[in-house]
Chains A and B, each alone.
Chain A
């Protein structure tokens, strides 16, 4: 785990302020930006992966059964997956906070 910006002392700044750990921003949770979430109806899903193709995060990956599922840790709830799903298998549901 990388230290947070406000935790770093000047002595801990790497030469050139280089970030040496690839992809470490993935510790940041973007899922809490969300006010609505995608819900997959597995009965309609044909596992085509179009939702994954068009996910801007990307946060949609295959689960053990081969269904494409949004990881809610990252999903911002844009709804593109639902809009683009050729089988209308994804619905966007308002979330209560």
Chain B
């Protein structure tokens, strides 16, 4: 039976790793991810989790050890944040191109400099070209559920890609919330034992990580691109199966009061919780406004996103990272790219905020909704604004 427990997001992730009977954890501590590795260390020390914990000397080695572990067919987990994810950066590409089903929880954090250990999405967005499946959970329950699902998705033979489960640093990782924790019995056969099809094994020698000359590199890249784009069906199937068993439904794009909405707010991660409150308030004032939450970030659910915003006149994006020198933030760039050229495409405005742990209140979302209306009404040539900075 599932029991209702109170825990921060970090501990919920650790419980999912334990329930998955993970074989290897290789991780390096970094704020705000530390509670995950501390909890996992306790579990290993107490024998609750029968895994080898590799206490690596850096995140670069954490992800590298994960490559080795996953390549022999062991169920493999790691976790990091911010600078740690950046230090892993080049290894991330290897995990996806070698098609190794590693699961990683990221307590998203700002990037230096200046040094800042608090939450935003700079790290997540900097890794969006790495070929991983990336999705976001917004509270303890979601990150528990989504970490459990991540193993099933990553290891599925139609997928074989690593998965990043994102949660906003502190806002999710450190906030104590009640969530339902299933036991082994309830988990049943939802997560079958890992069966990686191409393990390094002296009984069947293979070569992994051969170099590709110009004559074939493009073909390798195309094969990987097609493969990651064809994981949508399996991701949704796993989430649907999860919903049937546990009653909580996740979708690549989730909507809130969008049916007749003229203006749709688009957000990702923990912003959604505040944006949702703002939408309810604005609705009570008669505003035709709805919310689209992007849960699955990579591979981007293009059709589902278009479908979700198709009737809107205005789209207002809220996001937690910048693209220095770019036209808009990374989420808005994706949104614009998704909507460009479709019939009656909406007007799009981008707001960047919540940087480096700066709190955002529902009231601010309401105000920004109004600011966006003003920009649209006056036809101002403004691509994005930074939220709440002192002038």
A18-B206 contact given A5-B212, A8-B216, CB 8 Å threshold? yes
Contacts A15-B99, A16-B99, A17-B212 given; does A10 touch B219 at CB 8 Å = yes
A8-B219, A9-B219 given as contacts; is B212 within 8 A of A16 (CB)? no
* Cβ contact within 8 Å between A16 and B97: yes
A18 CB to closest chain B CB (Å) equals 5
- Scan residues 1-31 of chain A and give those whose CB is less than 8 A from a CB of chain B: 4-6, 8-13, 15-20, 22
- Are A16 and B219 in contact (CB-based, < 8 A)? no
A18 touches B227 (CB 8 A): no
Please, what's the 1-or-0 string for B216-229, where 1 marks a CB less than 8 Å from any CB in chain A? 10111011001100
User: Which has the most chain B C-beta neighbours within 10 Å: A4, A9, A15?
Assistant: A15
Interface 1/0s, chain B 96-124, versus A by CB < 8 A?
Answer: 01111000000000000000000000000
| Chain A residues, CB < 8 A from B286 | none
In Å, the complex CA distance between A9 and B223 comes to 9
Cβ of B215 and Cβ of A16 under 8 Å apart?
no
Q: Are B219 and A19 in contact (CB under 8 A)?
A: no
CA distance A16 to B210 in the complex (A): 10
In Å, the complex CA distance between A94 and B273 comes to 79
B residues less than 8 Å from A10 (CB atoms)? 218-220, 222-223, 226
Given the known interface contacts A13-B220, A15-B160, A18-B198, the answer about A5 and B213 at a Cβ–Cβ threshold of 8 Å is yes
> B208 on the interface (CB 8 Å rule)?
yes
Closest-CB distance, B147 to chain A (whole angstroms): 24
How many of B's residues come within 8 Å of A, CB to CB? Answer: 23
Give chain A interface residues in 60-84, CB to chain B under 8 Å: none
CB distance from B7 to the nearest CB of A (A): 36
Contact B215 A5 (CB under 8 A): yes
Residues of chain A with a CB closer than 8 A to B197's CB: 15
Contact of B206 among A5, A8, A13, A19 (CB under 8 A): A19
Question: Taking A5-B213, A9-B219 as contacts, is the C-beta distance between A15 and B227 under 8 angstroms?
Answer: yes
Which of under 10, 10 to 19, 20 to 34, or 35 or more describes the interface residues of A?
10 to 19
B202 to chain A, nearest CB (A): 11
A19 touches B97 (CB 8 A): no
Chain B, 148-164, contact with A by CB distance < 8 Å: what is the 0/1 string?
A: 00000000000010000
**A8 CA / B222 CA spacing, docked (Å):** 12
A78 to chain B, nearest CB (A): 24
A17-B206 contact, Cβ under 8 Å, with A8-B216, A10-B223, A10-B226: no
By beta carbon, the residue of chain B nearest A24 is B207
Which of B197, B205, B207 has the largest count of A CB atoms less than 10 A from its CB? Answer: B207
Across-interface contacts of A22 in B (CB, < 8 A)? 205-207
- Residue in A closest to B226 when the chains form the complex, CB atoms: A10
Nearest B residue to A6 via CB reads B215
CA distance A13 to B219 in the complex (A): 7
Q: Mark B184-209, 1 if CB is under 8 A from A, else 0.
A: 00000000000001100000011110
In Å, the complex CA distance between A18 and B97 comes to 10
Q: How far is the CB of B48 from chain A (nearest CB, A)?
A: 33
**Given A8-B216, A22-B205, CB of A16 within 8 Å of CB of B198:** yes
A78 vs B215: C-alpha distance when bound (angstroms): 30
**How far is A4 from B212 in the complex, measured between Cα atoms in Å?**
12
Taken residue by residue from 74 to 110, chain B's Cβ proximity to chain A (1 for < 8 Å, 0 otherwise) reads as 0000000000000000000000011110000000000
Q: Which residues does chain A contribute within 8 Å of B213, judged by CB atoms?
A: 5
Which A residues contact B (CB, under 8 angstroms)? Answer: 4-6, 8-13, 15-20, 22
| Contacts A/B (CB < 8 Å), 6 sampled | A5-B213, A10-B222, A16-B99, A17-B210, A17-B212, A19-B206
User: Which residues of B are in contact with A by a Cβ distance under 8 Å?
Assistant: 97-100, 160, 197-198, 205-208, 210, 212-213, 215-216, 218-220, 222-223, 226-227
Top 4 nearest A-B pairs by Cβ distance?
A16-B99, A13-B223, A19-B207, A5-B216
Known contacts A6-B215, A10-B223, A16-B208; can you find 11 more A-B pairs with CB under 8 A?
A8-B219, A13-B219, A13-B220, A15-B198, A16-B98, A16-B99, A17-B98, A18-B98, A18-B198, A19-B207, A19-B210
